[in-house]
Chains A and B, each alone.
Chain A
């Protein structure tokens, strides 16, 4: 009796490998992405931004007289009226990621191609996974190209090769950027599964992005004010409030990305958040942290970005698998 009950409760075991057809979907999707007009426009936009900001940064660095971590300063140096390249990336990366994924699934439905695709010996897993990985790889290809472009411009403009430390830091920065894009892409893909209309999915994605970019700070401020007692009596209370505000702010991928890039690209930044003067007693200010220590500082950010990307994909996956697909 118990056995029977258990069998009924136990879900049906899957048949076949989820990897079958993954390669085909991945290749097709990447080909679509890389040749699409949408991608072309976005690429032109980001290349122009990169060239402009890096050129401006080069001017600043040449007249600056600083000699350490020149290549990292290419990313972070702002020169009026242009912001630094990482400032642009903060909103260009979500834009590209959303643009690539907001119509990933619902467009297939609308064009009635999904049943045709699934009629092939391709599992649903493979279709979704293939679309997701194709988006992630496309992001990786685009950002790597930009990364190489910036380093090339840097070598031309500065006349010195980058050091190993600089290259390693910039590579980690590349990884952070890809997964920052990954979060927004998973989100947009999930929305494209939830909403039938691509326009709604795009709007929902943009709204979420705007919420975290513009409104999240305000929300955090309001929440902290709710927790704030009528009067702050001790330093510890003030510290706790500040820590709370910081922790809440870190729910936004934008904050995670901004903090991670600062730590990676400015080696002399030793801590995120509140540092008491007593912690800096006898500290050598301005000395760069070793890369390993910078990584330890941003490890939660990096793992957070990767984990949220995967989890958002899982949400989309579960929704997609439960969806009824009729021919």
Chain B
């Protein structure tokens, strides 16, 4: 009899509740008290804490004690209201109290489905609300570096530019530090949008393009150089080997044995200037033509005029024979000496020559004075008288 009545009463209440509060899920047992939540089944990631909204409805004014049941091991669940942890809540007649349940899974929680019930008690009345939490393994944080062209060829004065894509395949934003491990002669810089960068934030699932430039500082010998670039963020790291293939090239330098680039030449004479053609590059210079640009009317001959080969790091002596123009004015002139290999850059050096007139006419002048004095002496001996 009693059982029949209770069943009937619950039907009535259901009907009333359905009309009065169209809540998505309502769990209730008993007459006056009911619990509800908008989302009774939630998916969370490992390590996440969440807060569930719980509504408590009562038809009469009463104090409702709050509790949880069937809590999984290690989980802590507490109720919060008014900024504090609460144990019970007072509900007015025919009204709804809103509280929050803060659910904190243990740090080492396994993926799976966990359930617990929120229990509200008032006197002997009790209402429960089952909550289902699906804990899902998060996608592991992961960075990848990739490039289409990992090997670039160039000469020792080329800046090797690689286009690299950095991708965050994890679920969290990562600030990636960019590091490079390069041979001593190379300078590696990372650029994004034209700026030098050393780290950059990268959103989950997105990728960014980086320009990596590898610049040889010294003149590295020909060869293949590997540059490792790393992107480090938190405890993940991505690396990518880049290869710079340095092709050797000749680098000629025209100078004099002692480095002095000025000297004297005498009018009417063949003057020799000693030069040195040095190959400071990383490949032999083939077929080097040695030439000079001299003032008009001057003759400059080079010996030798052509050098078949200058090995890398080697030097060859060249003698320039300079004959100034007949009517050259004394003073300073510029002669440009040039060495041009068949392949590679031409080097030229400006040499400053001071033209000096012959001092032969000076002797003639002195002789003239001597003659004048001789004439005096002659006159004195010839005409001397008291």
Same assembly: yes
Q: Which A residues form the contact surface with B (CB < 8 A)?
A: 11-12, 14-16, 18, 118, 123-125, 270-271, 275-276, 278-284, 287, 289-290, 292-293, 295-297, 299-300, 302-304, 306-307, 310-311, 313-314, 317-318, 321-322
Q: A18-B380, A270-B329, A303-B369 are in contact. List 19 more A-B contacts (CB 8 A).
A: A12-B385, A123-B385, A123-B386, A275-B329, A279-B297, A279-B325, A281-B295, A282-B334, A283-B295, A284-B332, A284-B334, A295-B362, A296-B357, A297-B330, A299-B361, A299-B362, A303-B368, A304-B365, A310-B375
Interface centre among B296, B327, B368, B383 (most CB of A within 10 A): B383
Q: In the docked arrangement, what's the CA distance between A307 and B375, Å?
A: 10
Task: Give chain B interface residues in 335-386, CB to chain A under 8 Å.
Answer: 335, 352, 354, 356-357, 359, 361-362, 365-366, 368-369, 371-373, 375-376, 379-386
* Chain A residues with CB under 8 A of B332: 283-284, 287
For residue B247, CB closer than 8 A to chain A, the reply is no
* Chain B residues with CB under 8 A of A271: 329-331
Q: Does A125 contact B365, Cβ atoms closer than 8 Å? A: no
Q: Does A14 contact B381, Cβ atoms closer than 8 Å? A: yes
Q: List 5 A-B contacts (CB under 8 A).
A: A118-B386, A270-B329, A279-B296, A284-B331, A304-B368
* Chain B residues with CB under 8 A of A292: 356
Quote the shortest CB–CB distance from A315 to chain B (angstroms).
Answer: 9
Q: Does B296 contact A278, Cβ atoms closer than 8 Å? A: yes
Q: Does A293 contact B385, Cβ atoms closer than 8 Å? A: no
Q: In the docked arrangement, what's the CA distance between A256 and B372, Å?
A: 18
For residue B114, CB closer than 8 A to chain A, the reply is no
Partner of A302, one of B297, B365, B371, B384: B365
Partner of B386, one of A124, A296, A307: A124
- Once A270-B330, A283-B295, A321-B385 are accepted as A-B contacts, the answer to whether A300 and B361 lie under 8 Å apart by CB is yes
Q: Which B residues form the contact surface with A (CB < 8 A)?
A: 293-297, 325, 327-335, 352, 354, 356-357, 359, 361-362, 365-366, 368-369, 371-373, 375-376, 379-386
Interface centre among B293, B325, B327 (most CB of A within 10 A): B327
* Chain A residues with CB under 8 A of B357: 293, 296-297
Q: Does B296 contact A281, Cβ atoms closer than 8 Å? A: yes
Partner of A299, one of B328, B365, B371, B381: B365
Quote the shortest CB–CB distance from A217 to chain B (angstroms).
Answer: 25
Quote the shortest CB–CB distance from B352 to chain A (angstroms).
Answer: 7
Quote the shortest CB–CB distance from B300 to chain A (angstroms).
Answer: 11
* Chain A residues with CB under 8 A of B331: 270-271, 283-284, 287, 289, 293
Quote the shortest CB–CB distance from B297 to chain A (angstroms).
Answer: 6
Interface centre among B352, B362, B376, B380 (most CB of A within 10 A): B380
Chain B residue nearest to A303 (CB atoms) is B365
Quote the shortest CB–CB distance from A222 to chain B (angstroms).
Answer: 28
